[in-house]
Amino acid sequence: MTQNVDRETVVSRLLAADDILILCHKNPDGDTIGSGTALCLALQQLGKNAAVLCSDPIPAMYDYMPITVFDGSFRPAFVVAVDVAGIQLFGERNNIQEYAEHVNLCIDHHGSNSGYAYETLVDAGAAASAELLTTLIPEMGAKITPEIASCLYTGVATDTGCFRFSNTTAETHKAAAALIEAGADVERLNERLFESRSHARVIAERMALESLEFYYDDRCALICLTWDQIQAAGVAGAELEDLTSLPRSIEGVEVGLTLRQQKDGSFKISVRTGHDTNACNIARRLGGGGHPRAAGCEISGNPDNAKHAILEEVKKELDRADAEKAQ
């Protein structure tokens, strides 16, 4: 069991430590990398030896961050994890497991944090770990330099979809204001983080839009991708996952469906709904499950059968919602 600690304790632990190793989560995002780099720079500014370790390579889009990657040149005396909600999220590479089992301190914003560290500070109200560090770093007596500000802005902006997601609070905007005043290069960062789509993403969107169909007076939009199409487009993982939000994002669409054929021929179906219908109701009747607005199931059969089966359940749920409204 971890000890939950307050901000003052965290500050005193960090000020007392040296030869500090900072751990990020695998498949690193802007928040874990931005927070890790910012904390590392702040500790170095205070005269300490510190470096960052991640199981996976740092994505090229974050190469503007002046990150000190741990190269084994010192023996870590204090291990801090940032933005890592569970021990399984450290990954396997770069010998990270050697340190992951003895984390002295975890700084995080995930309410689901499993408490794997000796001591833990979780601010579940913070939209990003970087939001938490925006006030914590000055409390450590370190200055938010323009470099630190750009790292923290990256974390805050990426975890909130540029202040669009529902985790964005007044505190998030106050953090952004403080970081811009401290010199974050917000114009260049926004251009880099949000104005650019990867080649793979564009190819995936083209494939998705080509297959887009509308049903039930355009209240249902459906994307259906066969295994052959996915292979021919050469897209995978994140690009395909991102597509699942596309059908529901179209004006007037209450139910968005994404059907992706697996190698074995079966279809993985993602169901997203608006405020009127329940995605879980739809998925459950086909043996799946999930949340009220995002759920999923699997169906075997050819594309037409799969479409037919899921559309029938969508129709029932739309009818149920209409009946409820009419009452």
Residues that bind its own copies (CB under 8 A): 162-166, 168-171, 173-174, 176-178, 180-181, 186-187, 190, 194-199, 202, 205-206, 209-210, 212, 218, 249-252
Give the orientation angle of helix 170-181 with respect to helix 129-139, to 10 degrees: 60
Least Å distance, CB 112 to its own copies, is 20
Please say whether the beta carbons of 271 and 257 come within 8 A: yes
Q: What's the one-letter identity of residue 18?
A: D
**Residue 243: enclosing H or E segment and its boundaries?**
helix 237-243
Give the orientation angle of helix 146-159 with respect to helix 170-181, to 10 degrees: 150
Nearer to Mn ion, 83 or 317 (CB): 83
Nearer to its own copies, 171 or 242 (CB): 171
Q: Is 269 helix (H, G, I), strand (E, B) or coil?
A: strand
| 317 makes contact with Mn ion (CB under 5 A) | no
Task: Name which of residues 109 to 148 contact Mn ion (CB under 5 A).
Answer: 128-129
| 83 makes contact with Mn ion (CB under 5 A) | yes
Please give the angle made by the CA atoms of 116, 122 and 127, to the nearest 5 degrees. Answer: 130
| 159 makes contact with Mn ion (CB under 5 A) | yes
Nearer to its own copies, 285 or 293 (CB): 293
Please say whether the beta carbons of 29 and 62 come within 8 A: no
Least Å distance, CB 193 to its own copies, is 9
Nearer to its own copies, 2 or 211 (CB): 211
Q: Which two tokens stand for residue 184?
A: 């974050």
Nearer to its own copies, 69 or 250 (CB): 250
What residue 308 binds from Mn ion, its own copies, none (CB within 5 to 8 A, per partner kind)?
none
Least Å distance, CB 44 to its own copies, is 26
Closest C-alpha to 123, from 29, 113, 114: 113
What residue 198 binds from its own copies, Mn ion, none (CB within 5 to 8 A, per partner kind)?
its own copies
What residue 319 binds from Mn ion, its own copies, none (CB within 5 to 8 A, per partner kind)?
none
Nearer to its own copies, 134 or 278 (CB): 134
Residues β-bridged to residue 31: none
Among 31, 123, 239, 313, binds Mn ion (CB under 5 A): 31
User: Which residue stretch of 76-84, 212-220, 266-274, 299-307 sits at the interface with Mn ion (rule: CB under 5 A)?
Assistant: 76-84
Nearer to its own copies, 100 or 222 (CB): 222
Q: What distances in angstroms separate CA 197 from CA 34, 104, 158, 183, 200, one per listed residue? A: 20, 38, 14, 26, 8
CA distance 307 to 254: 17
Query: What spatial distance separates the first Cα and last Cα of the chain, rounded to whole Å?
Result: 51
Give the interface with Mn ion as residue ranges (CB under 5 A): 31, 83, 128-129, 159
